[in-house]
Structure 1
Amino acid sequence: MRLSPSDAWAFFRILLIFNAMGCIHSIRCKPRSFRESIIVLEVNSSIDSNPTSIDESSNVVLRYRTPHFRASARVLVPPVAAKEVWTVGWIQACNHMEFYNKYGDNGMSSWELPDLRDCKTQAISDSDGVNYPWYGNTTETCTVAGPTKRDTRFTVSMNDNFYPSVTWGVPVCNSNEPQLSSIRRDQSFTTWLVAINRATAETLVLQTVRWRMRLHIQIDPDKPLGQRARLLEPVTQEQPQILGRNETIPPNAMVKPNANDAQVLMWRPKSGDPVVVIPPKY
């Protein structure tokens, strides 16, 4: 079949375009890399609207449960030509922690992260302590192994909340006499949606979320059990921020120790030297 002059010129222009795109050997271009092709379709993040609940059922400890922070992302990975394995999921780090339990005029106990407290690091990993650097390894991650011939779609999700126990009595005494008078907590976290190449450790930050959990509980230790504690603030937590520009992950957020293993319980009397009640596990 012979082409007319106009058709021949059109075909020649198409060849020039593909030549400019670097596809001179084939009309079909090279597949894009994982870095170029991964698409975050949707990201959602919230903190439940219910207030912190207080449990006074024990005569040894007060327990409270904060609302849940939740994050989820829908991700699409087009066909991967290379023989690569990537894990996509959530990584979290604590970058601020105040956790004070006051015992009237006696002093206070506090859970502390020494390196964070002393400004030796920007953040401490909040991994589950097993699957570093991931927050978890169930709904929190998904692994894509190339080569693949079809699109891969998946959702990764995580949730976090606090459910601690605080002794009614001064933690350095053997007595359970109730003296706990207030609890204050203020913690901040950064949570990243990340893709990591399992072979090369190449790390792509896909989304960054910041969130904070605060509370102030007032306690009257002279009242009967079940009537002592009252949540002062906040009734509703401020909602997380999904950042428009991603933040890099500090090195400490990727490695041991995690926050649970690094924290220490201190007793800080009104007068006298501080005492380590529970040392760090790591």
Structure 2
Amino acid sequence: YQPCAGIDRGVNLKQSIINSLCGWGRDSRRFLVFFFSSSGSTMSKLSPEDINVLSVRAYYDSKTATNTTEMANLLKYESQHFRCKVQLELPECIADRCWSIGLVQACDRMYLENRYGQSGSSFWEFHPLKSGRHKMVNDSDGRQYPFYSLTSSKFEVRRGVISDSLISLTYEDHFYPTVAWELPYYGGAKLTDVIRKQDFWVWLVAIKRASSRSATSDVFNAKNDEIYILKTMRWRYNLHMTFDPTQPIGKRLQRIYDTQEEQPVILESNHPLPLSALSPPHCNAAQSLIWYPNNPSDKPKLLVPPKQIIVPWDTWTNDMAPGRHLSVKKPDQCKLVGEWAHDTEIGVDINTMSGAANSRALSNLETGPSKQPRVSSRSRG
């Protein structure tokens, strides 16, 4: 037998074999390589079935609650916290590809109204949802799609030997916006209600990166990366606060309705992910704040523009206020990130091993401009 290509007799044999394995595909030759665990048994190649989910928790933190701060010109409020905690186990094995294991969150319903009596309301909105062009909006910090954050909600597996590993993943989510008491641009209309209704999906996923993947590229590639769904969760958040604008600052809050109708749910069967849940724009970049007066003869006013859009600006303004002439110049910082013409659902359910691992398996998939992540702070509308 000839020695494996790339093995240097002058270096550590185990590491040299790993280097040889990771270099497969560089030429036409292939070699049979056996890896042995500390017990002497042959180590297998990492597969989705090897990822053992030990525990999953999704819950509202009972130690947190809705808190409000009344300031001279602004109302600040902070919602109850949602938390997700997962424990995983990986066996001793070999990874011939890089893997990313972590938590993905996306929003599929957004209703956030700041009501100013009979004058009208300002709404935080996601254009991809309002227009029906996308099924969901990814909810991450925008630094490494599709995962919620770079740190505690994601674990990276690099190519090579993997020791027995216990992995903990966690994140928490809550809202902490500010709202104006009065609207000087509309006759001093005064805040009377804050109404918030949002629905979220959460997935525990394992992404097997494409073999051709660049070592510096951690962005999900819908065509070449393979995504496996380990667990699926849902949570819904509802909040209604009423205010008396005739009262002095510090005494305007009248009632808080924040009892959730249901607790977060861990689904018995997994749900696939639409492409929009895995790619730009993320919630903080897609959100806009628009004033909609109740008087139909008055024009809406764009208060906070989005940072990322999926369609050209003229199309965006027509979608957001059809027939109401929301005419405003496109902000310089607003970037076009592209639309999924077919917001197809992908992901292999690890329980049944059914579903499409990526968009390569789907025919006639059309995409807009190249989707790349952009850094954005995590403010919540």
Pairwise CA distance, 1:149: 5.1
Match of 2:258 in 1: 234
Instruction: Give me the whole-angstrom Cα distance separating, in 2, the residues matched to 1:233 and 1:223.
Output: 20
In the alignment, does 2:193 pair up with 1:167? Answer: no
Structure-2 change in CA distance of 1:117 and 1:166 (3 Å): same
Instruction: Give me the whole-angstrom Cα distance separating, in 2, the residues matched to 1:236 and 1:138.
Output: 29
Secondary structure (helix, strand or coil) at the match of 1:194 reads: strand
Secondary structure (helix, strand or coil) at the match of 2:93 reads: coil
Structure-2 change in CA distance of 1:132 and 1:171 (3 Å): farther
Structure-2 change in CA distance of 1:231 and 1:206 (3 Å): farther
Instruction: Give me the whole-angstrom Cα distance separating, in 1, the residues matched to 2:169 and 2:44.
Output: 25
In the alignment, does 2:132 pair up with 1:132? Answer: no
Corresponding residue pairs, total: 253
Mapping of 1:17-32 within 5 angstroms? 31=44
Mapping of 1:50-65 within 5 angstroms? 50-56=64-70, 58-65=71-78
In the alignment, does 2:98 pair up with 1:98? Answer: no
Q: Which has the larger radius of gyration?
A: 1
In the alignment, does 2:242 pair up with 1:215? Answer: no
Post-superposition Cα deviations, 1:65-100, rounded to whole Å, max 9, x if no partner, equal: 001110011001112224322111111101000000
Instruction: Give me the whole-angstrom Cα distance separating, in 2, the residues matched to 1:226 and 1:192.
Output: 40
Uncovered stretches (5+) of structure 1, i.e. residues with no partner = 1-27
Post-superposition Cα deviations, 1:125-183, rounded to whole Å, max 9, x if no partner, equal: 1111111111101111111224325311110101100000000012745x8x5710111
User: What is the identity, as a one-letter code, of the residue corresponding to 2:69?
Assistant: D
Pairwise CA distance, 1:32: 5.2
Q: Is the 8 A contact 1:71 1:159 kept in 2?
A: yes
Q: Is the 8 A contact 1:178 1:222 kept in 2?
A: no
In the alignment, does 2:66 pair up with 1:40? Answer: no
Task: Give the counterpart of 2:196 among 185, 201, 204.
Answer: 185
Q: Is the 8 A contact 1:172 1:277 kept in 2?
A: no
Instruction: Give me the whole-angstrom Cα distance separating, in 1, the residues matched to 2:184 and 2:106.
Output: 28
Uncovered stretches (5+) of structure 2, i.e. residues with no partner = 1-40, 212-224, 309-381
Instruction: Give me the whole-angstrom Cα distance separating, in 1, the residues matched to 2:111 and 2:184.
Output: 18
Instruction: Give me the whole-angstrom Cα distance separating, in 2, the residues matched to 1:203 and 1:145.
Output: 16
Instruction: Give me the whole-angstrom Cα distance separating, in 1, the residues matched to 2:184 and 2:96.
Output: 56
Query: Does 1 or 2 have the higher relative contact order (CA < 8 Å, sep 6+)?
Result: 1
Q: TM-score, normalised to structure 1's length? A: 0.84
Post-superposition Cα deviations, 1:9-59, rounded to whole Å, max 9, x if no partner, equal: xxxxxxxxxxxxxxxxxxx67725421211111101101234311111x11
Pairwise CA distance, 1:106: 1.2
Q: Is the 8 A contact 1:52 1:235 kept in 2?
A: no
Task: Give the counterpart of 1:255 among 267, 276, 279.
Answer: 279
Q: Is the 8 A contact 2:103 2:202 kept in 1?
A: yes
User: What is the identity, as a one-letter code, of the residue corresponding to 1:91?
Assistant: V
In the alignment, does 2:292 pair up with 1:268? Answer: yes
Instruction: Give me the whole-angstrom Cα distance separating, in 2, the residues matched to 1:149 and 1:161.
Output: 35
Pairwise CA distance, 1:199: 3.1
In the alignment, does 2:290 pair up with 1:277? Answer: no
Q: Is the 8 A contact 2:205 2:227 kept in 1?
A: yes
User: What is the identity, as a one-letter code, of the residue corresponding to 1:212?
Assistant: R
Instruction: Give me the whole-angstrom Cα distance separating, in 1, the residues matched to 2:61 and 2:261.
Output: 8
Match of 2:323 in 1: none
Q: TM-score, normalised to structure 2's length? A: 0.63
Pairwise CA distance, 1:274: 2.0
Instruction: Give me the whole-angstrom Cα distance separating, in 2, the residues matched to 1:204 and 1:231.
Output: 44
Instruction: Give me the whole-angstrom Cα distance separating, in 1, the residues matched to 2:130 and 2:66.
Output: 25
Structure-2 change in CA distance of 1:184 and 1:169 (3 Å): same
Q: Is the 8 A contact 1:172 1:267 kept in 2?
A: no
Instruction: Give me the whole-angstrom Cα distance separating, in 1, the residues matched to 2:162 and 2:199.
Output: 41
